[in-house]
Structure 1
Amino acid sequence: MSDTTVTRPVKKSDFSIGRLLLEGRAFFALIAIIIVFSVLSPNYLTVGNLLIMSSHVAIYGILAIGMLLVILNGGIDLSVGSILALAGVSAGAMMQGIELQALGVILYPPVWAVVVLTCTLGALVGAVNGVLISVFKVPAFVATLGVMYVARGIALLMTNGLTYNNLSGRPELGNTGFDWLGFNRIAGVPISVIVLAVLAVLTGLMLSRSAFGRWLYASGGNERAAELSGVPTRRVKITVYTLSGILSAIAGLVLSSQLTSAGPTAGITYELTAIAAVVIGGAALTGGRGTIRGTMLGAFVIGFLSDGLVIIGVSSYWQTVFTGAVIVLAVLMNSLQYGRSGRKS
């Protein structure tokens, strides 16, 4: 009887308003951002502007999905921005035509082939990260930092530092470019937003309904215990970095399509934005805790905040300050949340 009287107050405190605000911080932050900028600018809360901002968020969101998988595994991926640039440059090079000097012909691959080849390239680079980390035991920070420089360097070498412009392709050869990915809409919704939604739903189902999702959470929470329980931790690690590379390549395709150009300097600091979206969404950097729903909310918080500051005419320097402050606040709240839960346990 005495045990029940002790545990009841603890259960009531678990459902306090403070905990609700702490765990739902990304959602409440997004609502606050929308309200504030709607008051400051009458053009902010319009359907057209929301769709435009969502198309901008799509790039961050796609990168953040891959980063979430890596962070759930207890790792980090600093190469996503460089993979994005390398993928965009590779797609741009193929759209310009592949010259076969020995045969004296120029091949213009169709858009679907460009997309497949670009995603394959992203998967290969991501797999390199996974192998370095899981097989050769290179720390994730060091391995992905090195791959970040290598990927960016290859992109610069491919273009000699220049940018591929006017990626319109050759319609008479069946290559019509991929600007449809950045500009076309289905039922008024940008295709990039639909791509983000589909990827988020598939990732959510994978994390909640598949054995791989359970393995991922287990290996991120305690890798040694998961390995002793029969979880193929090495395979899980390689898989999440490969998926991160594929998603980075997709983000590169979306960005190049929106700009109708591809440059080797694209995606600089995007890896930090992706990490910020995951952290704002409530994921623990130590691994094993986080949701796709929170990550998507985090991506929209960053995207809507950045676009809102642009709309009201705030200097780009202050935008950096505000974004950094939001990230620091999110990390602090994560420490409070998981530190408190750790002390309770």
Structure 2
Amino acid sequence: MHTPAPQEAAPKRSLMQSLELDTRLLGMIGAFVVICLVFNLITDGRFLTARNIFNLAIQTVSVAIMATGMVFVIVTRHIDLSVGAVLAICSAVMGVLQVQLLPAYFGLGHPAIMPLTVLGGLVTGAVIGAFNGWLVGYQRIPAFIVTLGGLLIWRNVGWYLTDGQTLGPLDQTFRLFGGVEGTMGSAISWGLGALFSVLAVFALWRGRQAKIRHEFPVKPLWAEGAMMVIAVGAIMGLVAILNSYEIPIGRLKRQFEAAGETMPVGYVDYYGLPISVLLLILIAVAMTLIARRTRFGRYVFAAGGNPDAAELSGINTRMLTVKIFMLMGVLCAISAMVAQARLANHTNDIGTLDELRVIAAAVIGGTALAGGVGTIYGAVLGAIIMQSLQSGMAMVGVDAPFQNIVVGGVLVLAVWIDIQYRKRTGEKV
């Protein structure tokens, strides 16, 4: 009688394997947590207050927005050293428009000033970005040289546009993009948090269903549920922190006085989610969808993984380069809008050294300089880690030169760790 051979038991999966978490992402989150705990301890609990987290969030936005575009640039084996200078000229154009030209034509406070100002900045960034992409893609000038020249050119063109002057005050509606003056309030912030939580759960569930349809392996249901709980907890936790930051009484009184009302005794209100942070979230989601769900995104990673094969397969890599640098220019303009609104004026040193911060954020976030590998969420987290380091050192009293030394060291360390990780996993270095 034939006895069937006993089936081998399926190998047990660890908790990490069941959750299918990216170890590189976990390492970044772990580093961020350690940074926060260390600075919170050194500052006697001041680092993890609602006020500091709110300020940290709005200070991160400008660099993080540009870092999402830098991922595409580096993935395709290029570099953009001109992003800080492009931000500066976009800020100069928007400053001239809303302080000098448009008020002279429409009058102060006209509702058309803000949208026309933003449009002017976006067009400026798009044109400069497309020009850079044309030089790189069609004229075959190395991106390093093109953007190094742009670093020297565009900031100084902006200086001539403004005659070297600081421009202000900015349009009142435009300043809402800066952070403190533009927040959603606690009620709307809770609503947005709930909406984003639902969307996150839906995205995770839809991704699971797509894997099932294509007969790919999926996580156990409990692991999928755990990921949903983590996502919802992170979203609602951030909203709860931002909603716990009280608006100062003096500011509330001025708001009531401006409306011709008297502030009730004991009235309290909270800032909630800043408009600039909401803008970053929307851009990060949009860039992630572009990277993962569109033909353009697939072409970007295909060209970065193997440019010759991508070109032989029919991808117009030259036009793709133009589009990538044009997108980078548009993101620089959006960052200029946020940075200028946060400062409440245009200054000629706006965006200084941002090119280094943006590249560092993308690289710390796991974008491979060899091309073909990178994530949007990694770049945003890299920007948050860098800003946390700088803010923490500033609170402790570390001077600016040493802050730059630390950031530079962290960048080199992050690249070294990434190289070691890729060697162990067999990825391209």
Give the TM interval when normalised to the shorter protein.
0.7 to 0.9
**TM-score for the superposition, normalised by structure 1:** 0.87
2:165–2:347 CA contact under 8 A, matched in 1: yes
**Alpha-carbon distance in structure 2 between the residues aligned to 1:107 and 1:142:** 42
Matches within 5 A, 1:166-315: 166-167=169-170, 169=171, 176-182=172-178, 183-186=181-184, 187=189, 188-315=272-399
Given that 2:122 and 2:330 are in contact with CA atoms closer than 8 Å, whether structure 1 keeps it comes out as yes
Describe the SS at the equivalent of 1:185.
Answer: coil
* Alpha-carbon distance in structure 2 between the residues aligned to 1:121 and 1:341: 42
Residue type matched to 2:306 in 1?
A: N
Q: Does 1:32 align with 2:30?
A: no
Q: How many residues align?
A: 321
Residues 1:81 and 2:79 aligned together? no
For structure 2, the residue ranges without an aligned partner over 5 or more in a row are: 1-10, 190-271
**Aligned residue for 1:62?**
65
Q: Distance in 2 between matches of 1:298 and 1:286?
A: 18
Identity of aligned residues (%): 34
**Contact 2:370–2:428 under 8 Å retained in 1:** no
Shift of 1:107: 4.7
**SS, match of residue 397 in structure 2:** coil
Deviates more, 1:280-289 or 1:307-316: 307-316
Q: Is the alpha carbon distance of 1:257 and 1:40 closer, same or farther for their aligned partners in structure 2, counting shifts above 3 Å?
A: same
Structure 1 runs of 4+ with >3 Å offset = 19-24, 105-109, 339-345
**What is the RMSD computed on CA atoms of the aligned residues?**
2.3
Structure 1 position 25, deviation (Å): 2.6
Whole-Å Cα distance in 1 between the matches of residues 310 and 76 of structure 2? 11
Q: Is 1:165 aligned to 2:163, yes or no?
A: no
**1:122 and 1:248 in contact (8 A); partners too:** yes
Give the alignment partner of residue 133 of structure 2, picking from 130, 134, 137: 130
CA apart distance, 1:249 = 0.7
Bigger Rg, which one: 2
> How many angstroms apart in 1 are the aligned matches of 2:102 and 2:314?
49
What letter matches 1:91 in structure 2? Answer: M
SS in 2 for 1:118: helix
Query: C-alpha separation between the residues in 1 aligned to 2:323 and 2:291?
Result: 13
Question: 2:99, 2:169 within 8 Å by CA — same for their partners in 1?
Answer: no
With over 3 angstroms needed to count, the CA separation of the structure-2 counterparts of 1:73 and 1:323, relative to structure 1, is same
> C-alpha displacement at 1:319, in angstroms?
1.1
Shift of the alpha carbon at 1:265? 2.0
Q: Say which is worse superposed, 294-303 or 108-117, in terms of deviation.
A: 108-117
User: 1:305 and 1:210, CA in 2 relative to 1: closer, same or farther beyond 3 A?
Assistant: same
Query: How big is the shift at 1:115?
Result: 0.5
Report the counterpart of residue 5 of structure 1 in structure 2.
Answer: none
Instruction: State the AA in 2 paired with 1:26.
Output: M
Q: CA deviation at 1:177?
A: 4.8
Shift of 1:153: 1.7
Amino acid paired to 2:328: S
d(CA) in 1 for partners of 2:164 and 2:100?
Answer: 19
CA distance 1:160–1:97, change in 2 (3 Å)? closer
Partner secondary structure for residue 179 of structure 1: helix
User: 1:342: how far off?
Assistant: 4.3
Change (3 A) 1:335 1:143: same
What is the Cα deviation at residue 340 of structure 1?
3.8
Could you tell which deviates more after superposition, 255-264 or 22-31? Answer: 22-31
Shift of residue 328 of structure 1? Answer: 0.9
Secondary structure in structure 1 of the residue aligned to 2:370: coil
Deviates more, 1:148-157 or 1:195-204: 148-157
